[in-house]
Every structure is written in C-alpha cells, then in structure tokens.
C-alpha cells in the first residue's frame, strides 16, 4: 500500500525550473556571504586563535560555546567540531546557564558566544558571569555596537549580508557564515597544535573516520604467524608450511628476516608440473614483492593491492624501517575491518 502511494506521488511530480532557480539564488547569496566573510577577516581572528591556544597550553581550560535559536544550533555543531579536533569544548545553553549551568563554566575556561544581533536577552546572565569572573569572552556577531560585542574581549565580526530567504528574515546566510567561521577557527587551531592523523583517530575510534585511519600494524599478521622458509627448501616441505599457516602465500627469508621472495597460490598454479614437489622455492619465488610500512594507513595498502597496474594483489608484505620482514597484510582482512 505504501509503495503504491509512493509511486502515485512520484508520478504526479514534475521538475519545476522555478524551484531550481530559487535554489541557485539561495546558494549564490550564501556564497557571496562567504566571500564577504573571507574578505573581512582581520587580526581579531588571529587573536582568537592565539587566545584559545594559550588557554589550552597554560590553564588546561575548555572553550565553552553558547548561542540561542539558530545560532545555538550552529554553536552546538561548532563545539562538537572543536572537541573532535583536539580543543576541549562543549555547548552551554544560555537559558539553562541562568538556571544553574553557569556552574559548568570555570575561571580556567573561555567562552565563545554566537549571536547575529548580539542583543538576545537570554545571553545577559552568561555575559555578566564572564565579566564578573574574569573569563575571556569571544563574540561572533554581525553587530559591532551590540551589547555582546561591547562587553567582549575579542569580536569576530560577521559581515551584514542579505539573508537568502525571500523575506530576508530566516537565518540562512548569517548562519552559513557563522558555521564557516567556526570551522575556520577549529582548523586554525588544528594547524597551530600540529594535530596528526594518529591523534585525530584517538577522537574518532568508531565509525567511518576511525576505519579510514587504521594503521597497517593494527591489521597485519605479525612475523611469528607467517609461513616462512629459507632458500633451498624443497616444495614438498614448503607446501606443508604454506598449508599450516594458511595465508595464501609463502615467504622466503634468510636467517636475518630479510625477505628474498614470495610464492603465492597463483604461482603454484602456474608452475604445476610432475616435478613440483622436488623443486626448490628459489625456482618458483618472485623477488622484490610489493611492500608497505607498518605505520602506513591500511587504506593505502588497499589502494596498492587493488590498483597495481596489470595485477590484482591479495596481500602485501610489511617491512620495517630496516627493510626486514615485519608482517603480512591481506586484502580480505582490510575489508573485514571496514577499510575500503
């Protein structure tokens, strides 16, 4: 029944050029707002970045982000972005702050308050609290003469640009600019602290981001579990080792764990003959197989295995900094771990 209703509804829908024209007009207006914001950036932005960075380094405080209405929604997103990129941060609702949540803000913290008009009555208690407690207040507003701007230590001024809605009232361009300015602040802080991919992964252990940042060393089969034989080993003995370890290949190494070559299941098929068991691994192995380092991203290993011209690899040997065998990473293990 629902499927029929959906089909009937879709059948009655047509592409109206006016809708697309309106959407393009909205995007054009908001793009113009972002360009104006970029052009308006000045030393206040740099002072804000330095102030937040210094707070983290010297006082171990947190950046409290606050806002009301649509600015509040942007503030929540910004607090989440900051926290996920290494700047301890959380959102405080100005209304709730007046009813006890001010206790969440300490003298070691800093407050970033978002308000397009800068005159929301709900902001007054939090503004007053920062002034009384000597807490640095950063304002993000489009009104430099507002109560918020006048009582702030640093003002991030958002240009006054037309809202994208037909009546010029619904927060659209202004919230887009606030969102972008917040992202710019978060990324500038990341750049200042030199956040590495490994550190970033600590804040994203789950989900797609976490899987993208998995290292080869976390997925590979370690050295002790690999099927390894020395050169000169006959294939009857080599096959026993290969079958026991069951990794789809055989590695030929010297007594210093230097990799000399590899024999894959495909190599066995290509060399199948009556004398196979009496031949030595030296005759069948392929020298200089593709390799990767333990600290490389597993996604890079997948890329090498699936995009090597003329070949589709199922595994890569892992070599340490001294070019000694450290492990083996297989395509199917990467896919099982969600790395693609």
Q: Where are the domains of the chain?
A: 21-195, 216-336
Q: Pick the residue with more confidence: 210 or 189? A: 189
Band (pLDDT 50/70/90 cuts) for residue 110 is: very high
Per-residue model confidence (pLDDT) at position 336: 76
Q: What are the pLDDT digits (tens) for 38-91?
A: 999 999 999 999 999 998 877 778 999 999 999 999 999 999 999 888 888 989
Q: Which two tokens stand for residue 256?
A: 């210093």
Per-residue model confidence (pLDDT) at position 8: 58
The per-residue pLDDT of the chain, averaged, comes to 87
* 325 phi/psi in degrees, rounded to 5: -65, 130
Mean pLDDT lowest among 230-244, 245-259, 299-313 = 299-313
Q: Which two tokens stand for residue 294?
A: 């333990």
Q: Which helix (H) or strand (E) is 261 found in, with range?
A: strand 259-264
Decide which of 3.30.565.10, 1.10.3210.50, 3.40.640.10, 3.10.580.10 is the CATH code for 216-336: 3.10.580.10
Per-residue model confidence (pLDDT) at position 288: 84
Q: What are the pLDDT digits (tens) for 219-247?
A: 899 998 999 999 999 999 999 999 988 88
HSE, CB side, 13 Å, CA atoms: give it for residue 110. 27
Q: Which two tokens stand for residue 308?
A: 């090597």
Q: How many C-beta neighbours within 10 Å does residue 120 have?
A: 21
Distance CA 320, CA 196 (A): 21
CA quadruple 14, 15, 19, 20: dihedral, nearest 10? 170
Interval 120-129 mean pLDDT: 91
Q: Pick the residue with more confidence: 72 or 195? A: 72
Contact 183, 87 (CB under 8 A): no
Distance CA 55, CA 235 (A): 65
Look at the domain 21-195 and name its fold: Rossmann fold (3.40.50)
Interval 30-37 mean pLDDT: 97
Q: Of all residues in the chain, what percent carry a pLDDT higher than 70?
A: 89
* 63 phi/psi in degrees, rounded to 5: -95, 110
């Amino acid at each position: 029944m629902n499927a029929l209703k959906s089909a009937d509804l879709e059948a009655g829908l047509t592409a109206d050029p006016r809708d697309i024209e309106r959407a393009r007009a909205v995007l054009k207006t908001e793009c113009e707002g972002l360009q104006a914001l970029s052009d308006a950036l000045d030393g206040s932005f740099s002072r804000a970045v330095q102030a937040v960075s210094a707070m983290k380094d010297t006082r171990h405080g947190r950046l409290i982000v606050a806002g009301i209405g649509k600015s509040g929604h942007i503030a929540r997103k910004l607090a989440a972005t900051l926290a996920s990129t290494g700047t301890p941060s959380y959102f405080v609702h100005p209304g709730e702050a007046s009813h006890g949540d001010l206790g969440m803000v300490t003298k070691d913290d800093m407050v970033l308050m978002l308000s397009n008009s800068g005159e929301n009555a709900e902001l007054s208690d939090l503004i007053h609290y920062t002034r009384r407690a000597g807490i640095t207040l950063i304002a993000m507003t489009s009104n430099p003469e507002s109560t918020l701007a006048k009582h702030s230590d640093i003002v991030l001024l958002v240009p006054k640009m037309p809202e994208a809605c037909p009546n010029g009232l619904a927060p659209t361009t202004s919230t887009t600019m606030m969102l972008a300015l917040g992202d710019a602040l978060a990324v500038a802080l990341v750049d200042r602290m030199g956040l590495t991919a490994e550190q970033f992964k600590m804040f994203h252990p789950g989900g797609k981001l976490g899987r993208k940042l998995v290292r080869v060393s976390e997925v590979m089969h370690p050295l002790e579990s690999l099927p390894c034989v020395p050169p000169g080993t006959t294939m009857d003995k080599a096959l026993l080792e290969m079958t026991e370890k069951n990794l789809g290949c055989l590695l030929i190494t010297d007594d210093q764990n230097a990799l000399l070559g590899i024999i894959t299941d495909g190599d066995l098929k290509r060399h199948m003959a009556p004398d196979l068991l009496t031949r030595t691994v030296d005759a069948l192995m392929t020298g200089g197989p593709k390799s990767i380092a333990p600290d490389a991203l597993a996604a890079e290993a997948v890329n090498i295995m699936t995009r090597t011209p003329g070949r589709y690899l199922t595994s890569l040997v892992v070599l340490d900094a001294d070019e000694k065998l450290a492990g083996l990473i297989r395509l199917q293990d990467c896919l099982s771990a969600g790395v693609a």
